Structure 1
Amino acid sequence: MTELRRTDTGSRLIKASAETIYRALVDPEAVTSWRPPQGMRAEILAFEPREGGTFRMAFIYEDAGSHGKTSDNADVFEGRFVELVPNRRVVEVIEFESDDPAFAGAMRIVTTLEPVAGDTWVTVSCEDVPPGISEDDHREGIASSLANLAAFTES
């Protein structure tokens, strides 16, 4: 029997244009600023923002007591850009580097940008979430990343 994987979603109205937000989604320096949730920092190890392009990054926990998916203090993941529709949509597929089977498998991340009266409604939908990722923690992480994206693009 195949285990059902879940989808976690978060949305936020960001007071910036879809063009500004899209640039932040595909620029590696911007990604290091907004993508890691609160309590983490990012290191970009590879980043090719084109359809079929690959990326590899690490989220490093700032709290020494945290336990990462890959090592004691880090979540390392790699993926590829499946679809890039400028100012509208980014689709990525990622896999965590982990010996724990609870974090195995590909997770699809779909980010959509919908213009709303000069602002942008941003929705992040994570499909096929590995069971090792707590639903509450993941939703909190998505909300934190969206807050970071808003702070980065609204300034």
Structure 2
Amino acid sequence: MDRIDSGSRVIAAPPATVYNALLDRTALEAWLPPEGMRGRVEHWDPRPGGGFRMTLTYLDASDAPGKSSDATDVVEVGFAELLPPERVVQKAVFEAGDPSFAGTMTMTWQLTVAGDGTEVTVTATGVPSGIGQADHEAGIASSLANLASFVEAS
């Protein structure tokens, strides 16, 4: 059975606000990098069939060497589906010399009304074997916490 990494969080903002944060370059740079990283978007094309390239830099690479270099993870992300304000499906490919990080990972961001807020559920399939499930799910949780802080402060 294929591994599924996931996380969810209720965010005190309407789905449209959360959806917009998923498709805004500046917002994505601010909230997507998990704790201990910063991100830079190198190109941006927010449409089905478009995508972006992001370099994630470890603030301290001594504990977690990067996939692309000692201190970075570089990922090319394509937008496979954009269904406002309910879902964003991304196809992510890491730049890495190590074959355990090869392949295309699908990240689905599902947005569901939850009272006055939005439940955001992230599921990842096709996760490269070199990415540990516990670490990946901790990273998803961290990004969701960042997303909540970002949109709830707006």
Normalised by the length of structure 2, the TM-score is 0.96
1:47 is matched with 44
Unaligned runs of 5+ in 1: none
- 1:119 lines up with 2:117 in the alignment: yes
Alpha-carbon contact 1:5-1:131 (below 8 Å) kept? no
* Correspondence for 1:32: 29
The percentage of aligned residue pairs carrying the same residue is 49
Aligned-partner Cα distance in 1 for 2:10–2:2: 27
For residues 48-76 of structure 1, give each alpha carbon's deviation from its aligned partner in whole angstroms, at most 9, with x where no partner exists.
11000021111100014131000000000
**SS of residue in 1 equivalent to 2:141:** helix
Query: 2:59 aligns to what?
Result: 62
For residues 42 and 119 of structure 1, the distance between their equivalents in structure 2, rounded to whole angstroms, comes to: 27
The code of the aligned residue for 2:25 comes to P
Would the aligned equivalents of 1:107 and 1:126 in 2 still touch at CA under 8 Å? yes
Stretches of structure 2 that go unaligned for 5 or more consecutive residues are none
CA change 1:56–1:15 in 2 (3 A) is same
Matched residue, 2:93: 95
2:11 to 14, 18, 30: 14
State the 1:79 CA deviation.
2.0
CA distance in 2, matches of 1:54, 1:89: 15
Q: Distance in 2 between matches of 1:112 and 1:150?
A: 15
- Provide TM-score, normalisation by structure 1: 0.95
Instruction: Give, in angstroms, the shift of residue 7 of structure 1.
Output: 1.1
**How far apart, in 1, do the equivalents of 2:2 and 2:69 lie?**
24
C-alpha RMSD of the superposition: 0.9
